[in-house]
Amino acid sequence: MCGLYNLTTAPEAVRSYFGYRDRPNFPPRDRIAPTEPIAIVRMERGERRFALVRWGLIPSWMKETKRSRPLINARGETVLEKASFRNAMRRRRCLIPASGFYEWQGDVPGRKQCHLVARPDGGPIAFAGLWEHWMGPGGEELESAAIITTAANAVLQPIHDRMPVIIEPEDFGRWLDAETVPAEEAATLLKPAADDVLTARPIDLVLRPPRRPAAATEAQPKLL
């Protein structure tokens, strides 16, 4: 799974990598946890656009959000089947900009070793994502998203059995174009990253209390 990631790349570099025309003013963040606002890139009227949504997908048919558990990850193997994700897979695919993500190794609580997983050159990463638009009975609206995961590649296998799906720039068009690219074709992109795409580096953590009960435990990463 992916429960904590970062986006430390400069906004202008992110804009250039993903190819959207918006110029949002969003600061670098060294930790992004569930239920927090996250950046996504999606298609609107035939062009790529930047948007901020909540991390934790709420299906459009959900009656209320207070009792629902945010769906932060979607398994790539079942997104075409699961009721929570299949409509988004067909109509609302997105990219989620990141610089890296965190995974923990070990079985002893409090003694697990955290790793920062990123490109060897520190370049930006595009997670495959799904987004949804939810409207409540009182007219309230919420846009939310989930990160799609798949089986770990050889780099991640010693640490965790899952990893986020990474979409490379040459496949951005196919993934985002839900109008002309069927979900079944887009699903062929949901596979582990090549073994040379990422490195995993152990990091030391300075723990901080979570800002809200629903969020994942936050931590300030520090490279060893």
Residue 159 pLDDT > 50: yes
Residue 205 pLDDT > 80: no
Q: Which structural domains are found in the chain, ordered by start?
A: 5-199 (3.90.1680.10)
Q: What is the per-residue burial (b if ≥16 Cβ within 10 Å, else e) of 203-216?
A: bebeeeeeeeeebb
Give pTM, 2 decimals.
Answer: 0.89
Mean pLDDT throughout 52-68? 83
Q: pLDDT digits over 83-103, tens only?
A: 999 999 999 999 999 999 999
Do 93 and 128 touch, CB atoms closer than 8 A?
yes
Q: What is the per-residue burial (b if ≥16 Cβ within 10 Å, else e) of 158-175?
A: ebbebbbbbbeeebbeeb
What's the DSSP call for residue 69?
P
Q: pLDDT digits over 107-148, tens only?
A: 877 788 999 999 999 999 999 999 999 987 777 889 999 999
State whether residue 97 is helix, strand or coil: strand
The residue written with tokens 């901020």 in the block is 52
